[in-house]
Structure 1
Amino acid sequence: MDEHTDTLIQARQACAAQDWPTAAARFDAVPSERLSADDLAAYSDAAWWLGRIDDTLRLGAAACDVFQADGRPADAAWAALMVGIFHLARGDEPQGMGWLGRAGRLMEGMPECPMHGYVAHFTEVESKLMADRQPAAALDAARRVRDIGRRCDEPDLVAAGLHGEGRALVRSGQVVDGLALIDEAMATVTDSRVTRRHSFVTGGLYCHTIATCHAVADLRRMVRWTELTERWLASFPAAVVFDALCGVHRAQLHLLRGEWDEAERRALEVAKGLDAHRVDYAAEAWYVVAEVRRLRGASSAAEAYDEAHARGRDPQPGRALLRLRHGDVVGAATSVRSALVAAGNDSRRRAPICAAAVEITIAAGRLDEAADAASELAATAATYATSGLETMACAAHGAVLLAEGRAAEALPVLRDACRRWHELGAAYDAAGTCVRLAEAYRALGDETSAAAERAQAEAAYERLGVHRPAPQAPDGLTGRECEVLALVADGRSNREIGEALHISDRTVARHLTNIFHKIGTTSRTQAARYAIDHGLSTSR
C-alpha cells in the first residue's frame, strides 16, 4: 500500500464519519487522477461544509462527469443538483438553472427511484417556494415528492415532501395546517440518522423551518427550532455554511430580545462570510445590522440598509423608520406608503410594514391611515394566528385608540400588548408600549401609574442603549412656540391656549405672530396643517 492509498482510505473514513476537516485535508493530499467519482463527490461535500465554495463547484462538476461516464445517472444527477443549487445560492442563476436542468435530463427514462424525488424536490418544490410564487404548484409537487418517498421507502424524502407541503400551505395562508406538517416532517428528521448525502437535505429543512417561522412571526416556534438546529450542528466537527445560515436567525432573535451587541457582532460576522455562498442570507444579516444601528442612533445605519438593498433585500420598513428617527415625519410617511404599494398583496410582507406605518402615520397626524394599517395588521394576525403577529396587531390597535383620544379603550389593549411583548422577550417593543401606557394613564388623570410606566420604559431604554436625541424643533421654533402651535392644531382658541399654558391672551397672540413668520403661513388653518405634517399635533 503506497502513501496515497493510505491517505485516500483515511479520507474516505473521515467522510463516512462526517469529519469534514480531516476528510478535506486528506483528499487535498491525494493527486486528482487517483480520485474516483465517489471520492470526487465526497471531496466536494467536505469542501462545501468547510465553506470552500469554489472547490465545491469544481469537484462537483468533475464528479458529475465521471458518474455519467461510469453509467451511474442517479449519482450524476445528485452531483448536478448540488452544483446547480450552489450556483443559485451565490446568485448565478444561468449556471444554476443549467445544472438543475442537466440533473432532470439525467433521470429521464430511468425506473422510479429516490433520486426522482430529490430532483423534483429541488427543481419543482424549492424553486417555486424560493421564488415565492405559485404555492399551489409547489404544493402539488411536494405531494408527489412525498409519494415517491413512500413508494421507495425513503424516510428523508418523505420528510422533504411533507416539509415542502407545509411551507406551500403557509404561503397560501393555511398557516395552522402548514406549520403542523412542518413540525411533523422535522420530528422525523430529528429522530433519524441521516447519511452523508442527506445531511445537506436535513440542514436545508432546518433552515427553511426557522425562516418560515420568522416570515410569519411565529416567534416561539422560531426560538425552539433555532435551538434544535444549533444542537444538530454541534454534532459536526465543522459546518461553516450552515453555522452561518443559522447565525443569521440567531442574530434576528438577539435583535428581538434587545441583545444588540451580540446581534450586530454575529450578523456582521456571517454577512461577510455568506456573500460567496448565500447572498439572500447575507442581505438579511445586513438588515439586522442596520436595525441595531438605527435603534442606537448610529450614523452608519443608512449604509447598512444600503448593503442589504444591494444584495436584493427590500430595506423597508427600516429605512422609513430611520427617516422618522431623523425627524423627517413627512418623508417617513411617504416612504412607508410606497413600501406598502411595493409589497403588493402579500400579507406576510406587508405585516411589518403595516406595523411601522401605524407608528409613522400617528406621528404625522394621519390617523385615518394609521387606523387602516392597524386594521390590515389585525386581519393578517387573525389569518396567521402566530404569537408575533398577534402581539404586533394588539400593540398597533392600542396605539391608534390612544392617538384618537380614546384612552379608556386603549388602556386594556396596551396592557395586553405589553404583557405579550414581555412573554416574547421583546424588550424594546415592550418599552415602547410602556411609553404609550404612560400616556394613557396620564390622559385618565392617573399620574402615579403614568410615572411608573415611564420609569419602566426609561430603565429599559437605558439598559438597551437606545439613542433618543432631543427633538429638534423645525424652522427655528422654540419649545413654547411648538406647544402653542400644537394647541392651534388641536382647535384651541387663544384664550384656551393661554389657559392651558398659563399665559395671557396677548402672549399667545405674540407667539402666533412669531410662529406665522417662521413657518411662512398667514392663517391658523395653515399653521394647523404645518403642525400635523411635522408631528407637532397633540392629537397624534
Structure 2
Amino acid sequence: MNRRTLDTVDTAADHYARGDWQAAYDAWSRTGPDALSAAELECFAAAVGLVGTHDEVVAVRQRAFRAHEAAGDLHAAAGCAVRLSMDLAEHGEHALAGGWAARAAELVDDIGADCVERGWLAFLLMFRALGEGDLVEAERLVHEAYDTGRRFHDADLTAMGTCARGRLSIMSGRFAEGLAQLDDAMVRVVAGELSPVMAGHVYCTAIEGAQEVSDVGRVAEWTAALERWCDAQPGLLAFTGQCAVHRGQLMRLRGAWDDALREWSLAAERYVALGSTPAIGLTALETGDVLRLRGDLAGADAAYQRAADLGVDPQPGLALLWQAQGRSAASVAAVDRLLASPAGPVERCRTLPGSVEVLLASGEVERARPLALELESLASAVGAVVLSAAAALAHGAVELAAGDAAGALPYLRKAHQLWTQSSSPYDAAVTRLLVGRCLLALGDTSSAQRELAAARAAFRQVGAAPMADLASSLLAPASLPGGLTAREVEVLRLVASGRSNPQVAAELVLSEKTVARHLSNIFTKLDVASRTAAAAYAFEHDLV
C-alpha cells in the first residue's frame, strides 16, 4: 500500500471516529475495498449502511467476511455473518438471510466455547420463532441473547436484547413490563453506549413499540431524540426515513395534516433510496388515512392500493373508506375478516377503533359493544392516554347508537378531555360532534349548537371537509319546518345534496333501514312522493 493510500485510509478512520459517516464513506470509496483490512472493511460497511445503499452494504460486508475467514478469525467471521443476515432480512431477502444465519451457526459450532456470537445467533433465531408464531421460543431466545450480551459486556447485544424483550412483552400483553424495558433500552442509546447502526435500530424499534400501543408521550419524546441524533450525523441516510414517518404520525395526531403528508412523502423518497419496500408501504397507508379523512376518496383508494401492493395490509382504513363510499357490505366483510383473524393485543389495539366505527355505521350496535369493552380493557392495561380516549369514544358512540344519549354523554365528555390532553384536534372534534348529537336527542338544542359549531370549526381548520359538512347538517335552526325532527333534517339535507341511502347511512352512522324509515317519514310529513320533490322542499326552506 503506497503512502497516499495509507493517508487516505487514515483520514477515513479519523472521519469515522468523529462520526462523519459521509466523509469516511467517500475516503474509503476512493481507496477501494482491495486496499482495506478486514477490520477496515467492517467499518466501511457500517459507514455504507449509514449513508449508502443496501446492495453496497452487502457487497462490502461479504468482503469483510471473506477476509476474516481467510485470517482464521472465526469470532469476527461469525459476527459478520450475523450482521449480513440481519441486513438481508430487513430488506426482505429472507432466503439469503437464512443462508447467512446458517453460516453463522456453523462458525459458532466451530468456535465451540461460550462466546458473544452465540448470543447474536440466538437473537437471529428469535426472528425465525416470531415468524412461526412461537412467542414462547422467541422469548427464550431473546433472554439468551440478552444474558449473553450482559455476560460478555457487549453493549449492542445487551441493548438490542433489552429492546426485543420489551417488544415481546408488549406483544404478550405485558404492557407495563414491555414499556419499562423499552425505556431501559433507550437510556442505553441516549448514554452513547451503542455503535451507530445499533443505536439507530434501537431508536426505531422502541418508537414503533410505543406507537403500536398509542403511547404518544413516549413516541414524541423518543422521536425528538432520534431527530437530534440524525441531525448530528452529516450525510446520514439510514433511519432518517423512520424519523420522518414518526414525525408525520405526530403531526397527523396534532392536526397538521399538510405537514404530515410532506413528511411521509420525504420518508418514502428515503426508503426508495434505501430499497426498503415494506417501509414505503407504511407511508402509503398513513397517507391513505389522511386523504380519507379529508374526503379525497379516490386519492385514499390509490394510497391503500399502493400499501397493499407493497405488502402492507390497508385495513381497517380501507374498510372505513368503503363505508364512506356507501359500500357497507364490503366494509363489514373486511371487519369480519379482521376480527376473526388470530391477533395479539397489539394488533387488536390497532384494529378495534376502526372496527367499532364500521359496525356502528352499519347498524351492528350489539356487535360493536363487546369490542368497545375489549378496547377499554386494553387501554387500562396499557395506560396510554390516546388509547383510553379511543375506548371512551367507542363506548359513547355505542351508547348513542343504541339510543341512550344520556348514557353516552359521560363517556364522550371523558373522551373529549383525553383527546384535548393529547393535543388531537380532529379526534376531539369528532367527540364534540357526538356530544352535540346527544344533546339534540335530549332536547338541549342551545348546548348542542355550541358543541356542533366548535366541532365544525375544528374540522375546517384541519381540512376534514366531510365531517365539517356533517356538522353543518346538524346545525339546523331551532324551529324546523314541516314538523321535521332534527334527525330528519340531517337526512333531508344529505339527500338534497345528492347522497344515496348508503352514503347517508355512512355519514350519519345509521343503518340503511333507519335511513329508509326517516326518508319515508319525511315524504309523509312534507306530502311529497319523490327524493327530487323532497330536495326541492329543502332548498325552498333554506335547509341546504
Aligned: 1:305 with 2:304: yes
Unaligned 5+ runs, structure 1: 519-540
1:284 alignment counterpart: 282
Distance (Å, rounded) in 2 between the aligned partners of 1:383 and 1:146: 26
- 1:375 Cα deviation after fit: 2.5
Task: Tell me which moved more, 419-428 or 311-320.
Answer: 419-428
Distance (Å, rounded) in 2 between the aligned partners of 1:311 and 1:398: 36
Say whether the 8 Å CA contact 2:86–2:97 is kept in structure 1: yes
1:104/1:267 CA distance change after superposition, 3 Å = same
2:4 alignment counterpart: 3
Distance (Å, rounded) in 2 between the aligned partners of 1:377 and 1:92: 36
Distance (Å, rounded) in 2 between the aligned partners of 1:330 and 1:484: 11
Task: Tell me which moved more, 233-242 or 308-317.
Answer: 233-242
* 1:436 alignment partner, one of 412, 434, 442: 434
Say whether the 8 Å CA contact 2:295–2:464 is kept in structure 1: yes
Identical pairs, percent? 29
With the length of structure 2 as denominator, give the TM-score of the two structures. 0.85
- Structure 1 SS opposite 2:31: coil
Distance (Å, rounded) in 2 between the aligned partners of 1:278 and 1:387: 32
2:140 alignment counterpart: 140
1:73 alignment counterpart: 74
Aligned: 1:237 with 2:234: yes
1:90 alignment counterpart: 91
Amino acid at match of 1:24: Y
CA deviation string 1:11-41 (max 9, x = no partner): 1211222211111111111143211112222
Distance (Å, rounded) in 1 between the aligned partners of 2:241 and 2:511: 51
2:525 alignment counterpart: 503
Matched ranges for 1:94-493 at <5 A: 94-110=95-111, 111-121=113-123, 123-129=124-130, 131=131, 133-194=133-194, 198-275=195-272, 276-298=274-296, 299-341=298-340, 343-468=341-466, 472-474=498-500, 486=514, 489=517
Distance (Å, rounded) in 2 between the aligned partners of 1:319 and 1:483: 19
Amino acid at match of 1:325: A
- 1:206 Cα deviation after fit: 1.1
With the length of structure 1 as denominator, give the TM-score of the two structures. 0.85
- 1:5 Cα deviation after fit: 1.7
- RMSD value over aligned CA atoms? 2.8
Distance (Å, rounded) in 2 between the aligned partners of 1:192 and 1:350: 35
Distance (Å, rounded) in 1 between the aligned partners of 2:334 and 2:188: 45
Say whether the 8 Å CA contact 1:51–1:240 is kept in structure 2: yes
Aligned residue pair count:
496
Amino acid at match of 1:208: T
Say whether the 8 Å CA contact 2:501–2:515 is kept in structure 1: no
Distance (Å, rounded) in 2 between the aligned partners of 1:443 and 1:257: 30
Distance (Å, rounded) in 1 between the aligned partners of 2:142 and 2:515: 60
Say whether the 8 Å CA contact 2:49–2:197 is kept in structure 1: no
Distance (Å, rounded) in 1 between the aligned partners of 2:15 and 2:504: 73
Distance (Å, rounded) in 1 between the aligned partners of 2:463 and 2:171: 37
Unaligned 5+ runs, structure 2: 470-493, 535-544
Amino acid at match of 2:500: P
Say whether the 8 Å CA contact 1:136–1:172 is kept in structure 2: no
- 1:126 Cα deviation after fit: 4.2
- Structure 1 SS opposite 2:413: helix
- Structure 2 SS opposite 1:300: helix
- Structure 1 SS opposite 2:525: coil
Distance (Å, rounded) in 2 between the aligned partners of 1:217 and 1:309: 23
